[in-house]
Structure 1
């Protein structure tokens, strides 16, 4: 699964488990949210992470950034295992690893002007910056994400959802990171605004050389934005391939089922698709095992039991 070129992020055998409470004296158990996940992201690349709700996508995003450290496995950033870093070293590294969350309003402080919110990054990581320098830097960031610098004195409730997400993106790029986890950054936005935000992310990637882990339910946007796609099912990656190859030739039964659920923008074709789906009940999917390379750069999980669709 090694991406061409030196990976900026290398995840190996990442697992995240949560202990479950024991009731009435019973034996405590463990919920395995993510199990044995591995992937690389190279400089300037966008890796898409897709799967149904509850499959572990956001858990992986939080584990990769060490917001919620993994139970097992390693996350290496620029060749350094993040788990081995001291608190001061991790603080410095966080300037180069940022996150854009799904709900921009929840990410913003409602009692802080958006200009001060963006400037907090400089106060924390560049305490030597003067106030005028910070204000100029914030104005430049607002212009870069398509907002008027004069909006810096306003508060989050005075902005639309798309504008709030642009503010969150401005905060994310303030310290010139090299890697951003975009955790469903367009899910809470109107359809007409989603494309604008995705185009902004692409523009910033070209301009700043960013690498993304792009988590999303929107399979069409994933194909448009991502270079490679990893399909997650029950906390495991079951298929990983270049975007066009995965969409044109999905090999795993779950991937085929996931892509088959995408609505078709043609009423007649959509009715035919739904009729065919109803006529053929979905067979159970086998548990996934180790990933095997079935074509150059195309990895599929070997079934370990059960039936294949």
Structure 2
């Protein structure tokens, strides 16, 4: 598009299939977890990826960072096709793209102190750094994510869930990446802590120019944080638009269903919301190709003679 910077991440026709085995151990068919997904993420942009559990959100997040390489399709990061990189080159590229996972306790090594966990990024990618330099850098990262540097010697079980996620974020930003996959980063946290973590991600984006792929099922938080939103249904993107446009005028039936499922705190508004739901859970949304239904607003349209 004219006037737009080139995308930081360009995903084209990404598919991820898993082989299924028969009960006697032989090969069977394949499970198509993700099929033909394409999207761009611009520098400094947050793209929200939403959908129900099992729709393929985390599969896409792992595929774009090559933690779980796709079956087919291309992933270009900063103009480089990741599939063409050897192991050493991919390891260097990982300094530029990081992941924050849903469960911070599972992501942390219980046998490592929090400071050593964050410092490990420097040990792997900045081997020339002296120990004193690493400790100083880790202390600065702790302060940046809102943790007391005196806690560097503590172990994961000595932190709360929100503090653990801050440690994971400190590790993710240690090497000054340009892109972070945030895979349900607030789902395991108390509601009172979720806003703090989201605000921290926003502040880091403003300071460091970060781009995010923000994976979540919390539609209200996605609207607050994300510039654009992609709606995933059964491994396919069925709607993609600017956040305000998608929430104000959802075009795909599945998107409307998702938005209608968000509870409203006011009782009268909640009753009206339930009465306005026009799609039953068993209805089959259209799954045709993405079509630009408005400038910058794409939705899957039905196929066939009655489209």
Q: TM-score, normalised by structure 1?
A: 0.95
**Residue in 1 that maps onto 2:291:** 292
Distance 1:119 1:80, change over 3 A: same
Q: Tell whether the 8 Å contact from 2:254 to 2:285 is kept in structure 1 after alignment.
A: no
**Residue in 1 that maps onto 2:265:** 265
**Residue in 2 that maps onto 1:124:** 124
**Residue in 2 that maps onto 1:232:** 232
Give distance in 2, aligned partners of 1:13 and 1:240.
15
Deviates more, 1:208-217 or 1:16-25: 16-25
SS in 2 for 1:48: strand
Q: Tell whether the 8 Å contact from 1:283 to 1:307 is kept in structure 2 after alignment.
A: no
Q: Tell whether the 8 Å contact from 2:180 to 2:212 is kept in structure 1 after alignment.
A: yes
Cα deviations by residue, 1:235-277 (Å, 9 ceiling, x for unpaired): 0000000000000000000000000000001122223333554
Q: TM-score, normalised by structure 2?
A: 0.96
Give distance in 2, aligned partners of 1:59 and 1:131.
37
Q: Tell whether the 8 Å contact from 2:253 to 2:279 is kept in structure 1 after alignment.
A: no
Distance 1:266 1:159, change over 3 A: same
Q: Tell whether the 8 Å contact from 2:20 to 2:27 is kept in structure 1 after alignment.
A: no
Q: 1:283: Cα distance to partner?
A: 5.7
Deviates more, 1:181-190 or 1:27-36: 27-36
The list of structure 1 runs, each at least 4 consecutive aligned residues, that deviate by more than 6 angstroms after superposition, is none
1:211-222 matches, within 5 Å, as: 211-222=211-222
Q: Tell whether the 8 Å contact from 2:257 to 2:279 is kept in structure 1 after alignment.
A: no
**Residue in 2 that maps onto 1:248:** 248
Give distance in 2, aligned partners of 1:174 and 1:150.
18
**Residue in 2 that maps onto 1:79:** 79
Q: 1:23: Cα distance to partner?
A: 2.4
Q: Tell whether the 8 Å contact from 1:20 to 1:30 is kept in structure 2 after alignment.
A: yes
Deviates more, 1:72-81 or 1:260-269: 260-269
What is the total number of aligned residue pairs between the two structures? Answer: 307
1:48-197 matches, within 5 Å, as: 48-197=48-197
Give distance in 1, aligned partners of 2:197 and 2:98.
17
Q: Tell whether the 8 Å contact from 2:119 to 2:135 is kept in structure 1 after alignment.
A: yes
Give distance in 2, aligned partners of 1:135 and 1:306.
66
SS in 1 for 2:176: coil
SS in 2 for 1:304: coil
Cα deviations by residue, 1:76-113 (Å, 9 ceiling, x for unpaired): 00011000011111110000010000000000001110
Give distance in 2, aligned partners of 1:51 and 1:159.
31
RMSD: 1.9
Distance 1:2 1:118, change over 3 A: farther
Distance 1:221 1:280, change over 3 A: closer
Distance 1:307 1:61, change over 3 A: farther
SS in 1 for 2:288: strand
